[in-house]
Amino acid sequence: MQSLVAMRCGSAAAFLSYASMRSSGFRVTPFAANKTPKYAGLAFIYFLGWNYGSVYVKYKLGDKAYHNYLCRNADAIMAGDKPMQ
């Protein structure tokens, strides 16, 4: 659930940014070295959107204590050492 929402937020942010860039004449193809800053900008916007979606889902799925528990123990939960609850 978290990764799905995070990917959708990231994709939406990147698509909206690309649409804005496209209206000013930017095109992804053909690839060129002088477009690298704009490619990096799209990747950064995707990351920001993904991060927003991830934090939003973690915060909305439970109270603040549960959110903090998930953040502190994410590695142990993914490894199966600690339960989600």
Query: Greater confidence, 20 or 59?
Result: 20
Residue type, 73: N
pLDDT surpassing 70 at residue 1:
no
Is residue 66 scored above 70 in pLDDT? yes
Confidence (pTM):
0.68
Asked whether residue 80 carries a pLDDT value surpassing 70, the answer given is: yes
Distances (CA, A) of 80 to 3, 18, 69, 73, 74: 18, 39, 15, 11, 10
Calculate what percentage of the chain has a pLDDT beyond 70: 95
